[in-house]
Structure 1
Amino acid sequence: MPDLTSRGERRREQLVAAAADILAEEGFAGVSHRTVATRAGVPLGSTTYYFDSLEDLARQALGRMGERFLTRARALLADFRSRPAPDGLEPLARLVVDMIGWSDDTPGLPLFYESYVQAGRNPGYAAAVREWNAGLVRLLPPAFEHTGRRLTPEDARLLLALCDGLLVTALAENTPDPAGSAARALAAALPRLRTG
């Protein structure tokens, strides 16, 4: 990797940000040296100068996407906690789905879950997925505390897996409003978890 001056660091940052945008919009298939350089507005050779490989760039972009993901989840949680605790489980379930599901944009959900599949195929990507999942596991208990319920880290991990499964199933079955469908199913499942 080259020594990075402040100009070089800015260019590298431009490339990672551009690759993260493409990854979120088009998935891994859209990330190429040419598309990233074009999106970043830099010469094509920049991608090979600042990154060891396209995989290295994609790994950095996936980490950036995870940072954005957790920032969004934190903002949703802060908004939820700034209001009086809601009655019933439906608002809590919807919050959980919105925090975990990345986007209200249904076309974006399959691309989001593509990152899980790619991480399963490429151990270099798995660290980014583990990091954002760990961040979510830390964010879920405060949401439950706001409603007078308790959620252990172990149950938060289970809840994360359950929500991911509900969203993937809704997408695979081409269910209209997959986030709404997952939230309704999650609200029905919550009483079965230890969230007292």
Structure 2
Amino acid sequence: MTTVGRPAPAARPSTTGRGGRRRAEIAEAAAAILREEGPAGVSHRTVARRVGCSLSLTTYYFENLDELLGEAGRINIGLWASRAEAVAEAVEGAPPPTGRDEITALILRACLPEGDALLGHYLQLIASAGAAPVTSAYRTGRDRLNGAVARVLRQLEIDCPPELVIAVVDGAAVTALSEGRDVRRTAERLLQHVL
């Protein structure tokens, strides 16, 4: 049905089968670029180049850049929540650790990206403040991340809000990065003071 004076909305591309896989591949590439370069690095053109497909294919699956950025943001917050959920599952299936170092190591595993991608992670988080679709996706997915970190804290018998723990880790990371210090050691030391 069309409204007088307005064209009928275009049919959305298939999200199942081969079309769904291609759309997911494009979204995953956008999410990777977002993690590496921030929202400014994501465009239909850069994503098409990363995937090795035509520019028209990216615009077929994602009508505009906001839609593409929003999906990239949902993928990224999902990755971070999945990491924390994996830590929660591991601690829920084992006897609770008793040593301070082991406890803070588990919390850091739940809150920090693996490897050396820390600078890029925090740069893109800050840069995302100027991209409404990304901030909306991160805000919406935050409950899942908080829930996973809360599970870790509960198993470790730590009575502290997950938002506070994440804020301490993030603050320690930004401080350490800006001062050329080791992020994990700095976060570990601050966590031990707080917890």
Please, which of 127, 130, 146 is the counterpart of residue 155 of structure 2? 146
The more displaced of 125-134 and 161-170 is: 125-134
Deviations 1:108-147 (A, max 9, x none): 1222223332332232221222133322221223222223
Gaps of 5+ in 2: 1-9
Partner AA of 1:187 in structure 2 = Q
Asked if the contact 2:38/2:128 (under 8 Å) is kept, the reply is no
What is the distance in 1 between the residues matched to 2:67 and 2:54? 18
1:85 has 2:96 as partner: yes
Residues matched between the structures, number: 184
Bigger Rg, which one: 2
Please, which of 166, 172, 176 is the counterpart of residue 160 of structure 1? 166
Asked if the contact 2:29/2:50 (under 8 Å) is kept, the reply is yes
Hey, what does 2:137 align to over in structure 1?
128
Matches within 5 A, 1:182-193: 182-190=187-195
Gaps of 5+ in 1: 191-196
Hey, what does 2:20 align to over in structure 1?
9
What is the distance in 2 between the residues matched to 1:122 and 1:26? 13
What is the distance in 2 between the residues matched to 1:54 and 1:61? 10
TM-score (norm 2): 0.82
Asked if the contact 1:2/1:49 (under 8 Å) is kept, the reply is no
TM-score (norm 1): 0.81
Asked if the contact 1:2/1:50 (under 8 Å) is kept, the reply is no
Hey, what does 2:175 align to over in structure 1?
169
Seq. identity, % = 32
Q: CA RMSD in A?
A: 2.1
What is the distance in 2 between the residues matched to 1:184 and 1:38? 42
